[in-house]
Amino acid sequence: MQSVKVVFHIDETDKWPLLLANIRNLIKAVDIHSSEIVVLANSKAVSIFDGQTEPNHSEAIAAISSSNVKVQVCENSLNGLNIEKSKLPSVVEVVPVGVLALIEKQTAGFAYIKP
């Protein structure tokens, strides 16, 4: 199977189910070990990590992480919603500026998809 490099962008809470479905379909179709698949969450989309919002998709996020998908969240967005990094699932990475990460990935040859 083929390798891909792609960053999925999510900035709305209610797009998580669609994004996770997209990724599950993609995982089945590519060689996940040689692929680089990144989810970049910023703005309201990070609210699922505030310890109160339901559903928080924690099982689905753990599942895609175990399939070599990186889940990254924007530190500016966490700060804006007063979410402490200590509340994040251990598989989630923090990047300082989400939009800058989106640019850097594309400059490095990643495709961009906004579900």
Q: Using CB under 8 A as the criterion, which residues of the chain lie in contact with a second copy when the complex forms?
A: 4-6, 9, 11, 18, 21-23, 25-26, 28-30, 42-43, 76, 96-100, 102-104, 106-107, 109, 111-115
Tell me how far apart the alpha carbons of residues 75 and 93 are, in angstroms, rounded to a whole number: 10
Q: Which is nearer to a second copy, 90 or 107 (CB)?
A: 107
Q: Which is nearer to a second copy, 51 or 108 (CB)?
A: 108
Q: Whose CA is closest to 50, among 38, 60, 41? A: 41
Structure tokens given for 75: 């530190």
Least Cβ distance, residue 48 to a second copy (angstroms): 17
Q: Which is nearer to a second copy, 11 or 50 (CB)?
A: 11
Residue type, 100: L
Least Cβ distance, residue 66 to a second copy (angstroms): 19
Q: Which is nearer to a second copy, 48 or 98 (CB)?
A: 98
**What are the distances in angstroms from CA 90 to CA 1, 34, 112?**
29, 23, 25
The answer to whether the CB of 46 falls within 8 A of the CB of 13 is: no
